[in-house]
Amino acid sequence: MKGGNLSDLKIFLDKKVKQFNSVEFIKDDPVSIPHLFTQKQDIEIAGFFAATFAWGIRKTIINKCILLMNLMDNSPYDFCINHTDNDLKRLLQFSHRTFNDTDLLYFISFLQFHYSKNKSLESAFFNKEISRQSDKSFTVQNALNYFHHYFFSLEDVPQRTRKHVAAPEKNSSCKRLNMYLRWMVREDNCGVDFGIWKKIKSSQLICPVDVHVARVAKSLGLLHRKQTDWAAAIEITEQLKKFDPEDPVKYDFALFGLGVIGKQH
pLDDT confidence tier of residue 127, bands split at 50, 70 and 90: confident
* Torsions phi, psi for 99 (to 5 deg): -90, 120
Kindly state the average pLDDT of the residues 120-145: 79
Task: Answer whether 246's CB lies under 8 Å from 203's CB.
Answer: yes
Task: Answer whether 214's CB lies under 8 Å from 228's CB.
Answer: yes
Chain segment 165-220, per-residue pLDDT in tens: 999 999 999 999 999 999 999 999 999 999 999 999 999 999 999 999 999 999 99
Mean pLDDT (the chain) is 93
For Cα atoms 47, 51, 57, give the angle at the middle one, nearest 5 degrees.
Answer: 125
pLDDT of residue 129: 61
Task: Answer whether 126's CB lies under 8 Å from 143's CB.
Answer: yes
Chain segment 147-171, per-residue pLDDT in tens: 999 999 999 999 999 999 999 999 9
Q: Who's near 166: CB < 8 A, 6+ residues apart?
A: 144, 148, 172, 173, 174, 175, 176, 177
pLDDT confidence tier of residue 264, bands split at 50, 70 and 90: very low
Which H/E stretch holds residue 101?
Answer: helix 101-115
Chain segment 72-114, per-residue pLDDT in tens: 999 999 999 999 999 999 999 999 999 999 999 999 999 999 9
Q: What percent of the chain has pLDDT over 90?
A: 87
* Torsions phi, psi for 39 (to 5 deg): -70, 135
Sequence length of the chain is 265
Which H/E stretch holds residue 232?
Answer: helix 230-240
Residue 132 has pLDDT above 70, yes or no: no
pLDDT of residue 260: 73
Residue 252 has pLDDT above 80, yes or no: yes
pLDDT confidence tier of residue 263, bands split at 50, 70 and 90: very low
pLDDT confidence tier of residue 1, bands split at 50, 70 and 90: very low
Q: Who's near 140: CB < 8 A, 6+ residues apart?
A: 178, 181, 200, 204, 205, 206
Task: Answer whether 131's CB lies under 8 Å from 73's CB.
Answer: no
Task: Answer whether 177's CB lies under 8 Å from 51's CB.
Answer: yes
End-to-end alpha-carbon separation of the chain, Å?
A: 7
Closest CA to 76 of 103, 102, 22, 38: 38
pLDDT confidence tier of residue 117, bands split at 50, 70 and 90: very high
Closest CA to 200 of 189, 185, 187: 185
How far is residue 66's CA from residue 155's CA, in Å, rounded to a whole number?
29
